[in-house]
A and B are shown apart, each in its own frame.
Chain A
């Protein structure tokens, strides 16, 4: 196995660390090739510490280190910041928790649990892979937090450091469910065993006292099930009654209560053995259904806000010119800070020094970076793309324009938790129906067998207890959730999944959601370029790191090895240079302005275009537009059948024509939408009683995502930041949206069929109940049988539906 991979690695020249193709042999060590210096450095660190075992658990386990920036962790010296991560400290040993997004394979677990090899002051480290978290115990007197983070960073596992800190795992809810299942299972098994003689009518008549003792043991065993195991159902039913909502837990609680009371009366009065086995079995099955429903993706966070996007500290510049770091929460108007390439501006500010090239794509949805001049305003959340700048903050973090979105009433409380609608809707009719039926049975027996009135009334309530009904939704949707997650579509919970089938208006954000960030389509207009000129242009743009240069470079598919002379770059304007004997200038209209004649081609106003000037005459321009994700028009056609579609964009309307062509006239397009406009738009739709589904990606969509009935954030990498939402969709799976929706709709049909199955069992039971013949044996067979058949049906049917749609 290892042999095989080594051969492949040398043949295809894959990086030994991360598995990417190596451009050449320039980074190698022994017989191992690396794609970049970063990967090689990580390998060298591991080799030095004798940790090369890392490479044996998984092939090329490393993360690509090409884009690695040198980071400064001085802010971790600050005690306020430190306390966010350190969960325990006694002055000597301390425990720190981090989330490590890069964790993805068994090699990662291995290396992260061997951190003590890097520094003996790290006492131990333990990984929770599902949460992607690591807990590190270390000797505070011998190593600083900053050094630990540097070690992690040096081997390619940069921890997530943001304002939110790390929420320490709260397992209490999950654990209490396990306790309940354990106890209910224990009691269920033992009660069943003690009821066996009763089922088979065993035993001598003279051993009657034994039966009595067994029954009393059963009562004792059923107490924890009734009072502890079933408590959630009583609480939920009570809440429902107080809110005057008939939820599914009301008939369950009623059935359980009647089961328990009737059994108690029968046992005490010596009439019979009661139905305690059915009671405990019922609770046991219901609790198992709850585990299915509660399945969550712990490593995904659906509640993120701006705090997890913003940096944790900034480099402030003091009046005397010295630099130091400061937690962003302490930023006050007037503070000056240094923002380096790729850093985020945490609060509204004014540019003081340097050339601002701010990428607002995540904040406003504008695709192209904005050029900011000295003294101009910069909104919080922008990302500097270029050399370092100095800014002066004019507002604190929480009062900035964008963060005001979170001061909105939307965020004052938790999003109102919706309950499973389908089952509750059924319950609305089901509950009165069984009460009517039970009374009917009593009336019927009043005329036929007056002695059986009480028996018949309670028997109907018991046997109609909608256990199978309550199980069908969690099992169907729990299973669907799991299958969707395999296809990189993660829903927060089954309730959100259920709401998806009722959508009648779909809203898409443009930038980053239906367009692919960092990719653009390039068209050239003007005098045709010869291959020689194309080569020359490619050679020139190779030198520039500007995104537009990169786009041009990627779009010219002729190889070139020429190196231009006299290369100059005027930031924010353009580049120029000589290739061979051709002088080329590439840049904005102003940049080539001297050579622009009336006869030269002119790019339309307000578009992103790059003019090409060769030897002093403008040849033409590159017109750059957004690259739309694959499958967009299919998705549009799919939703058009059942829903209206709108597209909201923070960008200007240059793409309007393009989008209309792609999607047709019947799609509403809105441009220049602020985050607040988006939110209001969703509200207006909802006021018209629309069920809105919103797809978004950035912070600017956060309000709209939260307001909409279902908000789904589309993310290039699901581990990265995505705003609070009901679901996270990996961008790779974007084109599969119609398939997912078909699947969700079949899941809903499956629930309805399983309701029918459970009603069928109820009918059989009610027949027994009416005649007052519900023996404990019948109840003990019928109830688990209905539950199990519903569970089997839903599981098999959901898998079949997934296979039919090709997602399993």
Chain B
């Protein structure tokens, strides 16, 4: 049964890894602003031009 001790040791290590990741995230400021990033992700830089053209085209068609 002593194998279970090794398994528990590993499971604790993995869990500690996650805890560490969480603490790092808090320290990094990821929990300071929980709203803006959700909007920011919707801004795609490259396609700006294409979008603008599409919009103009669709306006012309009407």
Contacts and interface: CB of A to CB of B under 8 A. Distances in A.
Nearest to A171: B32
B37 to A, nearest CB: 9
A106 B42 contact: yes
Given A175-B26, A182-B23, A53 B52 contact: yes
Interface residues of A, number: 38
Contact of B32 (A169, A179, A189): A169
A109 interface: yes
A130 B33 CA distance: 7
B22 A190 contact: no
A129 interface: yes
B5 A52 contact: no
A113 B39 CA distance: 12
A189 B15 CA distance: 10
A735 B59 CA distance: 44
Interface string B42-58: 11000010011001001
Contacts of A106: 39, 42
Interface residues of B, number: 32
Contact of A178 (B26, B40, B62): B26
Contacts of A444: none
Contact of A128 (B5, B23, B33): B33
A182 B33 contact: no
A656 B39 CA distance: 52
Interface string A748-777: 000000000000000000000000000000
Contacts of A171: 29, 32
A550 interface: no
Nearest to A204: B1
A629 interface: no
Contacts of A190: 12, 15
Interface in A153-171: 169, 171
A171 B62 CA distance: 51
Interface stretch (A2-10, A366-374, A457-465): A2-10
B35 A129 contact: yes
Contacts of B43: 57, 110, 113
Nearest to B37: A129
A194 B56 CA distance: 63
A127 B19 contact: no
A3 B26 contact: no
Contact of A217 (B8, B18, B32): B8
B62 to A, nearest CB: 6
B39 A210 contact: no
A56 interface: yes
Interface string B11-25: 110011011001100
Nearest to B54: A2
Contact of B19 (A113, A174, A182): A182
A178 B42 CA distance: 27
Nearest to B45: A114
A178 B15 contact: no
B62 A174 contact: no
Interface in A174-189: 174-175, 178-179, 182-183, 186, 189
A143 interface: no
Interface in A188-231: 189-190, 193-194, 204, 207, 210, 213-214, 217
B55 A56 contact: yes
Contact of A131 (B18, B22, B33): B33
29 contacts: A3-B59, A31-B59, A53-B48, A53-B52, A56-B51, A57-B42, A57-B43, A109-B40, A127-B36, A128-B32, A128-B36, A129-B33, A129-B35, A129-B39, A130-B33, A130-B36, A174-B31, A174-B32, A175-B26, A178-B26, A179-B23, A182-B19, A182-B23, A183-B19, A186-B15, A189-B15, A194-B8, A204-B1, A207-B1
Interface of A: 2-3, 6-7, 31, 50, 52-53, 56-57, 106, 109-110, 113, 127-131, 169, 171, 174-175, 178-179, 182-183, 186, 189-190, 193-194, 204, 207, 210, 213-214, 217
Across the A-B interface, the 8 shortest Cβ-Cβ residue pairs: A129-B36, A186-B19, A182-B22, A178-B26, A128-B33, A106-B39, A171-B32, A129-B35
